[in-house]
Amino acid sequence: MTQPLRTAVSLPTFGDLDARTIGELAATAEQAGWDGVFCWDHMLYDPVGRGVADTTVALTAIALATSRVRFGPLVMPLARRRPWKVAREIASLDLLSGGRFVLGVGNGDDLDFAPVGDPAPARDRAAVLDESLGLLQRLLTEDAPVTHHGAAFDVREVQLHAAPAQERVPVWVAGRWPHRRPLQRAARWDGVVPLWPGFAVPSPEEFAACLNVVRDARAGTDREDAEYDGVLWLQPDEEPKHPPAAYAEVGVTWWVRSFDPAADLSSVRRRVEAGPPTTD
């Protein structure tokens, strides 16, 4: 059975889109009928040269300004974070919002890593990402103190008492098609955010091929029959040649509209106010 297609906006965190404004836009999006409000997560990348809002603060503003929409980072380069701090943030935001948080993660970009000495090669970031996800899940779900001895983190008897409102906070994993390793990582979690070369918009058939790789990786695991999200992330000004319903038929569950980081606030507000596309 095809899951209903939900719609969302993904807001940059640069310039005029500070945390207060993002909260206001989130309230507008909820009133306009969008199902989700996500935001970018960058530390050093600043394409407009006018400042970058802290993502956790922006997400707090979204949680306080809304009551229905799903929200979260899309996506967080988890390798530059400390899993125990992220676990605390996730639990707090999920409780604050009544169980609406989604964690989007990815490998990130050198622009946010190399200048401060964080692991820059993609292979190294991927290894830290995998270790972080496993440790993060344990910190959020285990009742007993967590001990973990890994390549990136050494944790001894840590218990955060940081249970979120949701029994399982959904984790969406971004990855570049047609690389298989990110898709295999995504298969272990709750959703995939595939990115095509040049950030092109895939056809429904191309997205279906990506989801088939994920399904094959989930086959025979304890996650095989669990609900799973396929996230179509649209670059600014990109319009698919196919209607949303065609993507829903192949397994896309979220249609996410992004924005140019240099776009003026008035144009972003107009697009959010216009509401989501028809998904029937």
pLDDT score of 108 more than 90: no
Q: Find, among 78, 51, 74, 48, the residue nearest to 62 by Cα.
A: 74
Domains of the chain (ranges; CATH) run 6-274 (3.20.20.30)
Give the confidence band of 279 by pLDDT, cuts at 50, 70, 90. confident
The three-state secondary structure class of 2 is: coil
Residue spans of alpha helices (H) in the chain: 19-32, 55-65, 83-97, 122-141, 180-187, 204-218, 244-249, 265-274
Q: What is the rounded distance in angstroms from the CA atom of residue 279 to the CA atom of residue 128?
A: 37
Q: Which helix (H) or strand (E) holds 255?
A: strand 254-258
What is the full DSSP assignment across 47-89?
TTSS-B--HHHHHHHHHHH-SS-EEEES-EEGGGS-HHHHHHH
The DSSP bridge partners found for residue 258 are 10
DSSP state of 175: E
Q: What is the rounded distance in angstroms from the CA atom of residue 163 to the CA atom of residue 171?
A: 16
Check residue 238 and give its pLDDT.
80
Non-local (6+) Cβ contacts of 178 within 8 A are: 210
Tell me the residue ranges of DSSP E strands in 153-206: 154-158, 171-176, 191-195
Instruction: Work out whether strand 76-77 and strand 70-73 pair parallel, antiparallel, or are unpaired.
Output: unpaired
Express each pLDDT in 115-144 by its tens digit. 887 767 889 899 999 999 999 999 999 999
Q: What is the pTM of this model?
A: 0.96
Check residue 43 and give its pLDDT.
82
Q: How many CB atoms lie within 10 A of CB 123?
A: 9
